[in-house]
Each structure stands twice: as C-alpha cells, then as structure tokens.
Amino acid sequence: MIDPYIKNLVGKTIFSNKSTVTADFIVIMDETVEERRLSLIPQLSRVVSQNEIHELIFTCEQVAPGSVVNKISYCGFALIKNGGVLLHGDEILINDNYIGILAGFDETHYPNHLNIVIQTEQLKSGKQMGLQLYDTISFIFKK
C-alpha cells in the first residue's frame, strides 16, 4: 500500500475546508523537557473521534510533519467534544485566545493516545499558562 503523504502525491492543498474540532482539558500538566526527541509522523492530518482523549504538547521550535522535536512543555490531556480532522497548520485557540499552530503528531503512546504537538512563541507548560480544567481548545482550519 502506498501512503500518499510519504510519496508526496498529495499535500495540504487537498483540504479545501474542514470543520473546527474542539476539546476540553481534563488534565493540566506542568513539565518542560529540553531533549524529548519526539518523532513527528510525516502525515499532515489525523482523524479524532468524539470522546477520545489526546495529549497536547507545546514546542517553540520551528517543526513540521516528519521533524524531530526536542524542546517541549507538557500542556495537558483533552477530551474531544466533536470528531473531525486535525491538520498541520490549524490555528490553535484556548478559550478563544490564539496560542499557535498545530505542528504535527507523535505516536509514541498510540493507540492509547496521540501526542498533538503545537508550535507556540513561548515554551510554557499548561500550568504556567494558567490553564484550568474544562478550558476549551479549538483547532481551526487555516488554508
């Protein structure tokens, strides 16, 4: 079987539009790691289903699908409220405040959960950002 992302048969332009995916934080984390070595998968998108739980991780590094991420801060775990497609480059809002963009996905703990890596300006943990349980995170399509 041929993966169209790996063979460069398709790119982000295949996505004309998509719905916003939202999730609520159910765990807030507080840790920063300088040499995490997360391996982002080459695929630009992942499907998430309602009621799945995934981990959100911040990085200040300029990374993309297929990259290795070292400097990270743990944000937390979030419960998906509506299923949909998460896409590299989605704008990330927490409680309607812009945080950064979706950089990619790491499958270290899959199928238990995905690590969803978000590129931000500042490397802060969820606790350092003042996040609270049930704060809402939104993944908004940016063409």
Q: Which of 52, 53, 49, 62 is nearest to 104 (CA)?
A: 62
Rounded (5°) CA angle 95-99-101: 125
Domain count of the chain?
A: 1
The predicted structure's pLDDT at residue 77: 98
Rounded to the nearest 5 percent, the helix, strand and coil shares of the chain are 0, 45, 50
Is 78 within a domain? Answer: yes
More confident residue, 77 or 14: 77
Q: Is residue 6 part of a domain?
A: no
pLDDT, tens only, 68-127:
999 999 999 999 999 999 999 999 999 999 999 999 999 999 999 999 999 999 999 999
In Å, what is the CA distance from 70 to each residue of 37, 90, 96? 5, 21, 28
Could you tell me the residue range of the domain that residue 121 belongs to? 16-140
**Structure confidence by residue, pLDDT tens digits, 27-77:** 999 999 999 999 999 999 999 999 999 999 999 999 999 999 999 999 999
Q: Does position 3 have pLDDT exceeding 90, yes or no?
A: no
114 within a domain of the structure (yes/no)? yes
pLDDT of residue 127: 98
